[in-house]
Every structure is written in structure tokens, then in C-alpha cells.
Amino acid sequence: GAVVSQHPSRVICKSGTSVKIECRSLDFQATTMFWYRQFPKKSLMLMATSNEGSKATYEQGVEKDKFLINHASLTLSTLTVTSAHPEDSSFYICSASTGPTYEQYFGPGTRLTVT
Amino acid sequence: AQSVAQPEDQVNVAEGNPLTVKCTYSVSGNPYLFWYVQYPNRGLQFLLKYITGDNLVKGSYGFEAEFNKSQTSFHLKKPSALVSDSALYFCAVRDDNQGGKLIFGQGTELSVKP
């Protein structure tokens, strides 16, 4: 149980375009989802926390207008990178939990490359 | 603020030897500590956690970790390393005062050679 999927696993987009990444909890209802960004061989940096039906809480330094997060249902959260630039290229990982202080289950990650 | 530190960027071990990946923590209140493993281009896989109870925690794939309150450490161990254990390991602490977010250490790359 407790499976989280991400789609797509890899995406290449052109500079200036937007790209959407989906995070789904397949066998449980995820009240809370977290979005992380990871640079090569580096630690995970929390970008934002989203609770179903409410606005996401962004970490300091993360542009909310650039990284749009929607958590419209208990099984789906989306991260949209708007007007992507090469510096947005990274590995994006989501996690899901049944509540903010409950165990997080991680998705397999999405590799974004902006050309 | 809660934090964890992994003092070693890389650990090299010969197959069959015991391995230790170090983690120290700094928390206010009770520590909720986790170890995760990450293989290349993959998400994080949960290994084990300490919430309360026995100081020696047993986890997946033969890994275990010892919670040491006096030394504020939570080192990951395995008695006999496998080549397939080679991966990136992360220690994390959960901050329940900040919405349950996980704060990760810098990561330690474990290399197990035959």
C-alpha cells in the first residue's frame, strides 16, 4: 500500500513554456502533499506544502507565481512551472500523507529539463 | 529550529563489511527521525523511523539505526554491506511545529565495492 505516482517521469520543454507535473496517491487519501526540488547529488529542498482544498504554503524564497500548486482532490496535486527557464531544470519529487504530521510517502520523481 | 547533519559526503565500504552512515540531530522537543535511500533518478524509499520506544530500530533491507539521546545521533547501520546497497542516503527529522515538514540532511553517498 501507500503508493504515490508522478507523471511525467521525464519532460523536456522549451524556455518560456509552462509544464505541469502530477502527483497522485494511488491507494490512500492524501490530505497533505509536499513538493520538493532536488539538484544533482544534493539534498531535497521543500518548495511548498499543500492541503486538499486550500492554498499551498510556500517556503521562503520559492516564487508562488512561478510554481503553481493545486491540490484539488484527496488523490491529486499538481505543480505547474510557469514560463520555465533553464535554471528551473531539476528533479522534482512529491510526497503525500494522510495528514501533516503523518508519514510521508514519496513519488518516483520527475526530471525536468528546460532547453 | 530542527536540523539534521550528515557529516560524511561519501562512505566507502567493502562488500561483506559492516557499514555505518552517520547522522546527528538538533531538535526542540521529541525527535521524529527517519532514514531514506535514493537510487539514481528515483524517488526516496523509506528505510526506518524512530518515533518512540526502543532505541534500536530495525528497518528494511537489513538496515537498523540506533537512537542515542545523549549524543543526539541516529546512525544507520548494516552488519554486512551488499554492492546493491550503493546509493544516496538521507537522514531527516520531522518538524511537527511546521506542518510536519521533513528537514533533510545533506545526504551521504554510500559506495560498496566487491
Task: Answer whether A6 sits within 8 Å of B43, measured CB to CB.
Answer: yes
β-strands A67-73, A57-58 pairing: unpaired
Closest to B17 in 3D by CA, of B79, B68, B77: B79
pLDDT single digits (tens) B22-76 = 999 998 888 899 999 999 878 899 999 998 888 999 999 999 999 999 999 999 9
pLDDT tens-place string over residues A82-91: 999 999 999 9
CA atoms within 13 A on the CB side of A114: 17
Query: Measured between beta carbons, which residues in chain A are less than 8 angstroms from residue B45?
Result: 106
Inform me whether the pLDDT recorded for B1 exceeds 80: no
For residues A81-106, average pLDDT: 91
A 61-90 residues inside an 8 A Cβ radius of B = none
pLDDT above 90 (res A5): yes
Q: Tell whether the model's pLDDT for residue A108 goes beyond 80.
A: yes
CB atoms within 10 A of CB B7: 11
A51: pLDDT strictly greater than 90: no
Q: Which of B43, B99, B103 sits opposite A108 (nearest CB)?
A: B43
Taking CB atoms and an 8 Å cutoff, what residues of chain A touch B40?
A: none
Lowest mean pLDDT among A2-16, A31-45, B68-82: A31-45
